[in-house]
Amino acid sequence: MESTLRRTWANINLDAIAYNYKTIKEHIGEEVKFLGVVKADAYGHGSIRVGKLLQELGANYLAVSSIDEALELRVNDVTMPILILGHTPKEQVERLIKYNITQAVTCKAKAVEYSAEAVKCGGNLKVHIKVDTGMSRLGYLCDNESFGTGVEGIVEACNMPGLEAEGIFTHFAVADEFGEKNDEYTKHQFKLFTDVITAVEEKLGRKFAIRHCANTGATVRFKETYLDMVRPGLLLYGYGEFAREWGLKPAMTLKTTVSTIKIYPAGTAISYGGIYVTDKKTRIGVLPYGYADGFFRSLSNKCSLMTKEGLAPQRGKICMDMCMIDITDKPLVDVGSEVEIFGENNSLDELAALAGTIPYELTCAVSKRVPRQYIRNGEVVEKELLLRM
């Protein structure tokens, strides 16, 4: 669906994502496979468009969180391998097999359920075994006294009927954080992971086709962790310090417009709670961009947005559907003027730091009522609005 309103919108630069993919591939080498993480609607960038682009570019795998995300890609002509990182109910195994979707197996109970369902429907379910090496979330426990039982459990899963154990993987907890303690923890996780692989493969008498563990931080900082495949998330979209280190390009630019301008005298309280009071005659621009669009209320009175005359400080509490900026010293900014919330001229990384969070929490937060425009070769090639009419 195409939006009829010039309200708030996101430009998604597909050329930037393509550039980032090619740059990452240059770093990791042709022999290492590339998994593009497109869960959460590709971190707000649009999983279908990003998935199709990565398929066109020759990526090897995509990763999503759920079967719904995987099927969205399949019914929109994405045919490349897809790995579901999260839980899928056993009742959906037949659909996983039908649509050739790979499922993560995180414990014995899941393996038993998936095996029984695969046998029942007469097919084979491709799986990747998840190892918990220190993220303490999902996966077979294998550290310390759990090593032996963890290895036996993985071997058991790999030998279950109806399951085709193509891969094995783990997830690093602090690979993107600096410091000797964090580096040692990542190295510990990696060694444990490779020890598990060695022990399992010896007992199985065969190798896993795909071993993977390198997220964004490890892809940049720990080349030894590449193994058969890397799976950078934030790096692909061009945000964060590691993206800057590799010269990658931010893919999303979020824009809005000035809908109303008001002139207030000194002593006027702006927005809910009156946390900002004008100290002089003040020209306030009202923007149709609020926390229902993804503008964190915690940023109230803390950040600035980019106008054609430079940064304009945000004033007062951010509302559900709008916010206010101070344009007293920006006479050329008028009703209808564009304002960049984040993008090439207003850093998403800095906005995230002010909010006390990570960049992709802000891109994921861009809501469904914000239309996306996809840019390729400098032109809009597609528009998408997720609202139902």
In terms of domains, do 214 and 345 share one? no
In terms of domains, do 222 and 258 share one? no
Residue 21 domain-assigned (yes or no)? no
Residue 4 domain-assigned (yes or no)? no
Check if 21 is active-site: no
Number of structural domains found in the chain: 2
CATH number at residue 357: 2.40.37.10
Which two three-digit tokens encode residue 185?
Answer: 């923890």
Check if 39 is active-site: yes
Q: Are strands 102-105 and 82-84 parallel, antiparallel or unpaired?
A: parallel
In terms of domains, do 127 and 266 share one? no
CB 308 within 8 A of CB 219: no
CB 45 within 8 A of CB 81: no
In terms of domains, do 83 and 158 share one? yes
Residue 16 domain-assigned (yes or no)? no
Range of the domain at 301: 252-384
Bridge partner residues of 225 (DSSP): none
Summarize the chain as % helix, strand, coil (round to 5): 35, 25, 40
In terms of domains, do 49 and 108 share one? yes
Which among 212, 238, 264 is the end of a domain? 238
Which among 203, 238, 273 is the end of a domain? 238
Residue 168 domain-assigned (yes or no)? yes
Residue 24 domain-assigned (yes or no)? no
CA distances from 22 to 18, 46, 238 (A): 6, 19, 12
**How many CA within 13 A on the CB side of residue 245?**
12
| Phi/psi of residue 211, nearest 5 degrees | -115, 125
Consult the annotation and say whether 372 binds a ligand: no
pLDDT of amino acid 388: 54
Which among 185, 209, 238 is the end of a domain? 238
Per-residue pLDDT reduced to its tens digit, 35-79: 999 999 999 999 999 999 999 999 999 999 999 999 999 999 999
Which two three-digit tokens encode residue 314?
Answer: 């945000």
What is the Cα–Cα distance from 106 to 282, expressed in whole angstroms?
Answer: 58
Residue 380 domain-assigned (yes or no)? yes
Consult the annotation and say whether 252 binds a ligand: no
pLDDT of amino acid 1: 47
What is the Cα–Cα distance from 320 to 166, expressed in whole angstroms?
Answer: 46
By C-alpha distance, which of 112, 171, 166 is closest to 138?
171
pLDDT of amino acid 387: 61
Residue 13 domain-assigned (yes or no)? no
Residue partners of 109: CB distance under 8 A and separation at least 6:
none
Alpha helices in the chain (DSSP H): 14-28, 39-43, 47-57, 67-74, 93-98, 108-120, 147-158, 180-204, 216-221, 234-237, 240-245, 348-355, 359-365
Tell me which residues of the chain have a pLDDT lower than 50. 1, 389
In the set 33, 39, 52, 330, the catalytic residue is 39
In the set 22, 120, 191, 272, the catalytic residue is 272
Per-residue pLDDT reduced to its tens digit, 287-340: 999 999 999 999 999 999 999 999 999 999 999 999 999 999 999 999 999 999
In terms of domains, do 69 and 178 share one? yes
In terms of domains, do 67 and 184 share one? yes
Residue 376 domain-assigned (yes or no)? yes
Residues in the chain: 389
In terms of domains, do 45 and 78 share one? yes
Residue partners of 336: CB distance under 8 A and separation at least 6:
257, 258
Four-CA torsion 351, 380, 77, 93, nearest 10 degrees: 20
pLDDT of amino acid 385: 79
Geometric angle at alpha carbon 25, from 21 and 29, rounded to 5°: 175
C-beta neighbour count of 128 within 10 angstroms: 24
By C-alpha distance, which of 152, 251, 253, 241 is closest to 204?
152
pLDDT of amino acid 384: 82
In terms of domains, do 210 and 274 share one? no
